[in-house]
Amino acid sequence: MNSIVDILKEVQITEEDIILILQKYKPALQKIMGKQVNLDFYDDEIHVQEKFKSDEFGKIKSFGALKIKDFNAMIKDGIPKEFVDALVIVKVVEEWLELLTTHEKKVIFWRYINHDFEKDKKYYKTISYEKIGEKLNMSKVGVYKIVKNSLRKIKRHNNI
């Protein structure tokens, strides 16, 4: 049975599609956890800053091995489609991040993943290349190049 990322490989995906999916990672986690979350990036991965009663984030990461039939079974078992969609987004983004170096992951995290959605303006508020450069001790141009290379790497992986 094909994985979610395998299915995405069958569809021509654009950089804009990739950005949109990356931007939906944090809202997907919030939907799964049923609360606002604050994210951070260290030790080569994304971490949820809040303390939870149980290892909710660890449970979400364990969905990484699920296949499409598993997600379809969840829907048939009565799990809300919105919840399953959120799991799919988290799974796809986690798999994409595995393609990137630690440095690329950090830049993508700060540019597209760790943001807030501006409901009144209907867009994702992202950090500027300049601010990311300051945070990571890089030039604005260096950040831009890493973003573009990372998006191309993900796109190339999905459009083989």
CB 132 within 8 Å of CB 111:
yes
Does residue 48 sit within a domain? no
Question: Which regions of the chain are under pLDDT 70?
Answer: 1-11, 50-77, 116-124, 160
Does residue 47 sit within a domain? no
- Per the structure, the count of domains in the chain is 1
Find the farthest-apart pair of alpha carbons in the chain and give their distance in angstroms, rounded. 50
User: For every residue of the chain, which 3-state class applies, written as one string?
Assistant: CCCHHHHHHCCCCCHHHHHHHHHCHHHHHHHHHCCCCCEEEECCEEEECCCCCCCHHHHHHHHHHCCHHHHHHHHHCCCCHHHHHHHHHHHHHHHHHCCCCHHHHHHHHHHHHCCEEECCCCEEECCCHHHHHHHHCCCHHHHHHHHHHHHHHHHHHHCC
Tell me what pLDDT residue 45 has. 87
CB 159 within 8 Å of CB 13:
yes
Q: Which domain holds residue 107?
A: 4-41+53-158
Enumerate residues 6+ apart whose C-beta is below 8 A from 112.
19, 22, 23, 25, 124, 126
Tell me what pLDDT residue 53 has. 46
Tell me what pLDDT residue 69 has. 57
Does residue 46 sit within a domain? no
Tell me what pLDDT residue 100 has. 97
d(CA 55, CA 16): 33
Does residue 143 sit within a domain? yes
Does residue 71 sit within a domain? yes
Does residue 24 sit within a domain? yes
- Which is nearest to 98 in space by CA: 153, 29, 27? 153
The model's pTM is 0.77
Does residue 80 sit within a domain? yes
